[in-house]
Amino acid sequence: MSVAKKQILIGIDEAGRGPLAGPLVAWAVAIEDFFPASFLKTKIKKIKIRDSKKMTAKQREIIYQLLKNSPCFRWGRGIVSEKTIDKINIFQATKLAMRKAVNHLLENWAVADKKNGQSPFYFKNSEILLLIDGNFKIETAFQEKPIIKGDEKNKLIALASIAAKVERDKIMLKWHKKYPQYGFDKHKGYPTKLHLEMLKKFGPCAIHRKTFSPVKRLSY
């Protein structure tokens, strides 16, 4: 008698499609049960998991640290630079970052299982379903289910959304130290009034996306 394969759900989302500068960051998150007991006992038990843009920075950071440090979760990240975005376009960069995140998650999971004495071939006996925020597939060998507004409908995608935003914000804060004149610490590269004013005043820097308007107009 054959044994039914275990299904592994992986939620995937990104941060950074709209900015004029900096990388695109994707996260993938997996968990056996959406709310294990150890999860409920954490500080975020009273925080409603939802779209990262609707949460405070403190709330996002708490969840980000939990995802990275709790044994209940498996996670992976994918980062695509602004140069690659300019080369292959933002849509292809989004899919690439998501694929990288999935691969990173599976690598992390295999390493963790090996440390715990479990078989490194765990995934051969599992069915993996990717839950993707959006209306597109990312062209992997796994089953894929796009979910429009997935960060509002699915907890795994919401967690990935939160982590991706936190991770990207941290990257932009580092870039702010090198290019303080643009105010990346405030807008994280998005086309705010301040950013557009500074872009016009100083011109594009090395991390601006040269194929994005209005950066493109100022690059020639």
Counting as low any pLDDT under 70, the low residues of the chain are: 1-5, 32-48, 50-52, 113-125, 219-220
Q: Is residue 213 part of a domain?
A: no
Residue 26 belongs to domain with CATH number: 3.30.420.10
The model's pTM: 0.88
Can you give the pLDDT at residue 80?
A: 99
Can you give the pLDDT at residue 85?
A: 99
Can you give the pLDDT at residue 210?
A: 97
Query: In this structure, what are the phi and psi dihedrals at residue 107, rounded to the nearest 5 degrees?
Result: -65, -45
What's the domain count of the chain? 1
Q: What is the DSSP string of 138-158?
A: ---SSEEEEETTHHHH-HHHH
Can you give the pLDDT at residue 1?
A: 43
Structural domain span for residue 63: 6-178
